[in-house]
Amino acid sequence: MESHLIDSLDFHTARALLQWQVELGADEACLDAPVNRYETPKAAPKPKAAVEAAPVQAAPKVDPVAVAKAVAAGAKTLDDLRAAMGAYEHCELKRGARNLVFSDGNPAARVMIIGEAPGRDEDREGKPFVGRAGHLLDRMFDAIDMGRTAPISAQSIYITNVLPWRPPQNRDPEAAEIAMLRPFLERHVEIVAPEVIVLMGNIACQAVLGRRGITRLRGNWQEAFGKPVLPMFHPAYLLRQPSAKREAWADLLSLQAKLRSLA
């Protein structure tokens, strides 16, 4: 039966015809034309050549320092700067920290203190110098009638850190971390515009002055960001080395004399 006739039949009719052929002894289905099974099969047509894709260009390498400079430069206020730092994604420290530690104290203060990096207590509370070292810092400046909560701006201090995020296990910040976050620190100083900057410890001196060796630097006035800068022992060091408190007291008196000379 021709195939076009079979195609036109419904299922039940076609099934009945098939059963009739089986009853007649048909036991093999044949094609309309014989098949030469000794003939070499034709090769399958080759697929069309795929359109050659354009070469994938590698993503341009990001310079985290350049990004920080551009972002920090756009900050007009302290709130802007804090938001810019919070949105900065190129520092891995951010992923392991609880909070961004931005600042504490009075932004109108004459003195800006720059510490190193947040510790466990600072990371938990989101403020710089709140642990044992912070309590000692408050007592030190209280001795010269200054403090972060002083109601008069001339007697108040403003505190920040080189890094806003806590390094793991309180390790020292790496040079690359300091470099990428320094533009934010520089912009911070520009917005606050203090009369005097105090650098607490080696890391702050490295970030601002490009030098370490706090035992040699402390007590010697420097200049950075266009401001007088006084390196001092970090309060955490004084907790470990109480004998160094004498030098710290001398530095506080030097700071007090500098402020009087600038008044």
Q: What is the CATH number of the domain that holds 178?
A: 3.40.470.10
22 within domain boundaries: no
pLDDT tens profile 199-240: 999 999 999 999 999 999 999 999 999 999 999 999 999 999
pLDDT of residue 142: 97
pLDDT of residue 59: 65
pLDDT above 50 for 258: yes
**Could you tell me the pLDDT band of residue 149, with boundaries at 50, 70 and 90?**
very high
30 within domain boundaries: no
230 within domain boundaries: yes
State pTM to two decimals.
0.77
Give CB contacts under 8 A, 24+ apart, made by 143-152: 143/249, 143/252, 144/252, 144/253, 144/255, 144/256, 146/111, 148/104, 148/105, 148/106, 149/105, 150/106
Q: Give the residue, 53 or 39, on which the prediction is more confident.
A: 39
172 within domain boundaries: yes
pLDDT above 90 for 191: yes
**Residue-averaged pLDDT of the chain:** 89
141 within domain boundaries: yes
Average pLDDT value for residue range 47-55: 57
28 within domain boundaries: no
Q: Residue 114's closest CA among 33, 234, 221?
A: 234
pLDDT above 80 for 193: yes
Number of domains forming the structure of the chain:
1
Residues of the domain holding 218: 64-262
Instruction: Give start and end residues of each alpha helix (H) in the chain.
Output: 3-8, 11-23, 64-73, 78-87, 93-96, 120-125, 132-142, 175-192, 202-209, 214-217, 235-240, 245-262
49 within domain boundaries: no
> Tokens 């920040």 correspond to what residue?
160
216 within domain boundaries: yes
CA distance linking residue 21 with residue 8, whole number of Å: 18
**Could you tell me the pLDDT band of residue 3, with boundaries at 50, 70 and 90?**
very low
pLDDT tens profile 78-131: 999 999 999 999 999 999 999 999 999 999 999 999 999 999 999 999 999 999
**Inter-CA distances, 64 with 175, 182, 184, 207, Å:** 13, 11, 12, 16
**Could you tell me the pLDDT band of residue 194, with boundaries at 50, 70 and 90?**
very high
How long a stretch of residues is the chain?
263
pLDDT of residue 61: 86
